[in-house]
Amino acid sequence: MKLMELYRRLLRHFGRQNWWPARTRFEMMVGAILTQRTKWENAEKAVKNLEKAGLLNPVALAKTPVDKLERLVRPAGFYRQKARRLLSLAKLIADEYRGDLDAFLSRPPEELRKELLSIYGVGKETADSILLYAAGRLYFPVDAYTKQILHRMGLTPKNIGYEQLRSFIEENIDRDLAVYREFRALLVVLGKTYCRKRPLCQKCPVSDLCSWGSGGRGNAKMPAEG
């Protein structure tokens, strides 16, 4: 089974997801941090609080007292950590790039990724989400849903690492920004709807492609190094 076949089947079943649900690139970046370890609905409440306060731009956000920011992002959970992460991101853009988001996001992709990863609390999934959805770069964010789905389908082993899984996906799907964005979203929807901790295999629209659903229990060898 090829990944593009899985993509096309999911697209037919669920339709286009049109991620990321944000009006500006900076709002998307803020959302990527706020949605860490919580549901998007909770993160969205915090985003709306920031919007009402006029803080969805890096310069204004960088000047915000941390205690005020904590109150605004409280609906997203882990509000103390997330407030500091947002401040770190905003201050980097405000101080090093004079608030010019275009200058920040237009850096060479590996340099931009390295800089994102240097920000307090920004890990690989968050950095790659920003690269894909805000900067328009071909980096596929890997989350727990993606890892679980591809393992259950027998495509990857359970213990595969982040970078190896990202490389496997990127080597087996079309180098197209729309495909990257939609496939990432569709895998999340599949994981939330059917491929849960206790999977609903009998209802899953792609169970016929899946070794777990057919009793194979996700047996797979480690992908060869590229």
Closest CA to 120 of 94, 82, 63, 93: 82
Report the half-sphere exposure of 81 (CA within 13 A, side-chain side).
11
pLDDT value of residue 71: 99
What's the fold here for domain 25-133?
A: Endonuclease III; domain 1 (1.10.340)
The pLDDT value given to residue 75 = 98
Q: How far apart are the first and last CA of the chain?
A: 19
pLDDT digits (tens, 9 = 90+) for 84-131: 999 999 999 999 999 999 999 999 999 999 999 999 999 999 999 999
Looking at 6-10, 16-20, 74-78, which range is the least confident one? Answer: 16-20
pLDDT tens column, 160-180:
999 999 999 999 999 999 999
pLDDT of residue 225 exceeding 90: no
The torsion region of residue 171 among left (phi > 0), alpha (psi -120 to 50) and beta comes to alpha
| Contact present, 127 and 113 (Cβ < 8 Å) | yes
Residue by residue, DSSP assigns 49-98 as HHHHTT--SHHHHHTS-HHHHHHHHGGGSSHHHHHHHHHHHHHHHHHHST
- Position 151 scores a pLDDT of 95
Question: Domain boundaries in the chain?
Answer: 3-16+141-209, 25-133
pTM score, whole prediction: 0.93
User: Is 3.90.1150.10 the CATH number for 3-16+141-209?
Assistant: no
Q: What are 50's two structure tokens? A: 């920031």
